[in-house]
Structures are given as structure tokens and as C-alpha cells.
Amino acid sequence: MAWLIAHGIVCTMEDPPRVIEDGAVAVEGDRIAMVGPTAEVRARYPEAEVLDARGQLVLPGSICAHTHFYGAFARGMPLHDEPPTNFPHILRRLWWRLDRALDEKAVRLSTLVCLIDAIRHGTTTLIDHHASPSCIDGSLDIIAEAVLEAGLRACLCYEVTDRNGPEGARAGIRENTRFIRQVQRWRATGDPRGDLLAASFGLHASFTVGPETMAQAVAEAQALGVGFHIHVAEDAADEGHSLTIYGVRTVERLAREGVLGPQTLCAHCVHVDTREIDLLARTRSKVSHQPRSNMNNAVGVAPVGAMRAAGVTVGLGNDGFSNNMFAEMKAAYLVHKVHARDPRAMGAEEVLAMAYRENARIAALFWPHPLGVIAPGAYADLILLDYRPYTPLTAANLPWHLIFGIDGSHVTTTICGGRILMKDRQLLTLDEERIAAEARAHAPIIWERFRAIAEAERG
């Protein structure tokens, strides 16, 4: 049975985008059936139930091409150490202690609070990269159950690494393999869980995955017919390690060992050189750009313009920052200008292309129908925003309204797969107050484990 969103300003985000004044979207099942002026759509579906947008913007749900649900408990947490002075310090003193402190309850709660944040800010598709070395087996199922409870769309993987010993590496490989096969069974049998959930094969980064573990992971992924989700050259230390140990730069090593390819997603790529960019393009590997995280970690600014000019698909992620992807768009727009000292760098059209068209190409690795666009046949992942433009809003100037006006705080209604998850800012699938209270109660337990790990490492 079809239902309609009517009387909205529909921004299709097609290439090129259209802006339909008094527009409507017809939804059948989990997909879009028709897009057009309200009068035309209502004439085609005269008996359909109508959700009146009342002049609000109607956009595709945002896509986040790289995130970390597991990092939620870091907010406000004391480090019990001197402030990190570089990226390796940040990893060792914060993230590699926090992930070891996580238990099953923390994995679940950290996922749920991130999903609440995503619904509130209109992010309906998230590509997650998980780590919890103290509870690896079944961890992706815990996350998957939370995603299904929320009603959002997510691609999951476990980051394989050697930093927790050979058994930890083997357990990470097993968890990826098990979950990928499970998703493949869901898809093959028409299980509805396979409509929302997808899987890739996670690797942490070149500098924490040795040749034996890498070869095992590549063999498993090739047998399963999937690609990888891996951090690449986020910091110069990754390149330095690869040159010292393997005699080649990071992307060259990953290409040589069979990690790169059209199904592989490389997060960051801040320090890639021209040869590595050429390898990313020739292997048709995808890249996600996380400007807020890169600024926060002081690792540098990725050569996004050069990668896109070479034909590399570069999307936009958040690396565990808030799931307000409109904030990520603004950061991308600004940081490249100040880095290049050129106001022409990273135009608003480029940011829109990354956030919608390029992210849609990345999402197409994992789901069979289009995302990030309002068009017949695309998934009905839609958001309504109470943004009231005080200058004309057209297809030509939409990118600048996105950068200088529209924000996740404007989102009033979030829909994923035709299901309304939030209406008029009221969450319908998750109890935010209860989940936040549970997380607050559990945070001191995780923080105490973190403190004990820090003390043990310092001896």
C-alpha cells in the first residue's frame, strides 16, 4: 500500500539535482515509487495516506561512509595520561585502551546512542568499523540487533589487527567471515534483515596487520566475494612504517597484497602521494574523507581534489564524530580552503557531490538499490527539514544553501526503508531517555577499566 509525502520542497540530489516546489514522493514498501509535483503524485495515488510536509525540505537520508560506533564512551572520559602529542599517542593512549575496555553491554549501548544521534540528524545509512578486543565473537550481532531495533541501515565489519596477538587476529577474521556469511544467507533467502544490514571485511591499518594475518584475511575475503574496509595513510606514521618494513608505501603494499579493488573502502588517505592516488584509481578502490576527525587528530588534510581529479570515488564519513553529516559537509568546505589558502578550493558543488553522489556509489557496494537520491526505484530513505530559506532556493544554488544554511538540527522527520523512525522530532523506535540513562550508568564501569588498562601499561 502506497503512502505519500506531499507539499514539500523536494531536493532530489540526482545528477544534476532537481528542486520541486510543492513536491511529493510516493513510497511503496521500502522504495520510492514516484516523485513529482504534489498534484501529479496525488492524482496517481488518490487513496494513499498523506504525510503533509507543510513546506519543509525533503532530502535523501544522509550517508556516512566511515564511522566507529564503539567510540561513544570516549566523550568526557579522563585519559589518566599526558595529553597525546601525535597520532600514534592518540591511538595508544585513547582508542586502543578504550576498545579493550568494552564489554557486550558497552558495545550495544555505544551503538544505540550513535543511532539515536543519526536518526535525530537525518543520517540513515552508516558504514561502521568496529573494534572490541575483549569481546570479539558475536560483537557484530550485538551491533546488528541495535541497528534493526533502530530501523536504520548499516554495513558492519570487525577491524582485524595483530596488536592484540595472533589469537585476537584470528578471532577478528572469524567474526568477519561469520557475519558476512550470515548477511549473505539473509540476502539469499529474502530475510528482511538483509534489507537493512550489509557486511564488509574489516582491517585496522597496514601498520597493525602483518603479512601472515593480511594473507589470511585476503584469502577469506576473496572466497566470500567481498572487499575490505581499512584505514589507509591516516597519519604519516602509516607511510613511514610501510616503507621501513615492506620497502613500499602503504597503498603500494595494500595493492601488492590484494587488499585494494572495486569493493574496497579506504578511510582517510591523508598522506597518499601521486603514485598511490594512481593505484587507487586503477584498482577502482573507494575512499572516505573525514575532515573533522583529521583536524581533531592534527594528521593533515587529504588530497581530495587530486584524488577526485584522478577518477577516485571519494565520499564523506565522520570517523565517529557526531552523525550530523551536514556539519561534516561544512568542515570539508572550509578546511580545504584554509589548507590551500585558496577560496576556490573545495567548492560547494564538490561537497554536495561527495556527500550524495559519491557516497551513493560507496553505498552501492553493499545494497542493491540506489541510496542518497530521491528517484523511483531508490530506497525510501528520506528526511524532512524545517529549513525556511529567506533567499530563493533553486537547483543551481542548492549547494550553497546546504553549506551556509541547512543543518542536521533542522531535521524533523527521518524515514528509512519506508518506515518512519522519527516524526516531528519524536523518536518512534528507540527510547532515548532510557538508553541515555543506561549508558550513563555503564560509563563509569568502562572508564574504570580504561584507567586500569592505562595503569597496567605504565607499569
Residue in the block written with cell 584470528:
170
Considering only CA atoms, which of 78, 77, 151, 141 is closest in space to residue 107? 141
Considering only CA atoms, which of 233, 137, 242, 144 is closest in space to residue 195? 144
Using CA atoms, how far apart are residues 93 and 101, in angstroms rounded to an integer?
12
- The pLDDT of residue 420 is 98
Identify whether the C-beta of residue 277 lies closer than 8 Å to the C-beta of residue 285: no
What is the rounded radius of gyration, in angstroms, for the C-alpha atoms of the chain? 22
- Cell numbers found for residue 362: 560507496
Q: Tell me if residue 313 falls in helix, strand or coil.
A: coil
Neighbours of 421 (CB within 10 A): 23
Q: Tell me if residue 127 falls in helix, strand or coil.
A: strand
pLDDT in tens, the chain (459 residues): 899 999 999 999 999 999 999 999 999 999 999 999 999 999 999 999 999 999 999 999 999 999 999 999 999 999 888 899 999 999 999 999 999 999 999 999 999 999 999 999 999 999 999 999 999 999 999 999 999 999 999 999 999 999 999 999 999 999 999 999 999 999 999 999 999 999 999 999 999 999 999 999 999 999 999 999 999 999 999 999 999 999 999 999 999 999 999 999 999 999 999 999 999 999 999 999 999 999 999 999 999 999 999 999 999 999 999 999 999 999 999 999 999 999 999 999 999 999 999 999 999 999 999 999 999 999 999 999 999 999 999 999 999 999 999 999 999 999 999 999 999 999 999 999 999 999 999 999 999 999 999 999 987
Question: Measuring CA to CA, how many Å separate 154 from each of 99, 114, 195, 348?
Answer: 20, 12, 10, 27
Identify whether the C-beta of residue 195 lies closer than 8 Å to the C-beta of residue 30: yes
CATH 3.20.20.140 domain range(s) in the chain: 62-319
- The pLDDT of residue 80 is 87
Using CA atoms, how far apart are residues 386 and 413, in angstroms rounded to an integer?
9
Using CA atoms, how far apart are residues 80 and 449, in angstroms rounded to an integer?
12
CATH 2.30.40.10 domain range(s) in the chain: 3-61+372-427
Considering only CA atoms, which of 226, 230, 222 is closest in space to residue 251? 230
CATH no., domain 62-319: 3.20.20.140
- The pLDDT of residue 52 is 98
Q: Tell me: the pLDDT tens digits for 77-97? A: 998 888 999 999 999 999 999
Identify whether the C-beta of residue 430 lies closer than 8 Å to the C-beta of residue 114: no
Identify whether the C-beta of residue 283 lies closer than 8 Å to the C-beta of residue 263: no
Residue 160, beta-bridge partner list: 203
The verdict on whether omega for the bond into residue 16 sits within 30 degrees of 0, i.e. cis, is: yes
Q: Tell me: the pLDDT tens digits for 261-299? A: 999 999 999 999 999 999 999 999 999 999 999 999 999
Identify whether the C-beta of residue 325 lies closer than 8 Å to the C-beta of residue 331: no
Question: Measuring CA to CA, how many Å separate 93 from each of 130, 142, 166, 302?
Answer: 18, 26, 22, 24
- The pLDDT of residue 459 is 75
Using CA atoms, how far apart are residues 349 and 396, in angstroms rounded to an integer?
9
Nearby residues of 394 by Cβ (< 8 Å), 6 or more positions away:
19
Using CA atoms, how far apart are residues 128 and 125, in angstroms rounded to an integer?
10
- Cell numbers found for residue 200: 564488509
CATH no., domain 3-61+372-427: 2.30.40.10
| Cα 174–chain centre separation | 23
- Cell numbers found for residue 294: 583529521
Side chain identity, residue 450: F
- Cell numbers found for residue 361: 556509489
Identify whether the C-beta of residue 378 lies closer than 8 Å to the C-beta of residue 369: yes
Using CA atoms, how far apart are residues 64 and 353, in angstroms rounded to an integer?
14
Identify whether the C-beta of residue 5 lies closer than 8 Å to the C-beta of residue 51: yes
Using CA atoms, how far apart are residues 7 and 294, in angstroms rounded to an integer?
40
| Cα 297–chain centre separation | 18
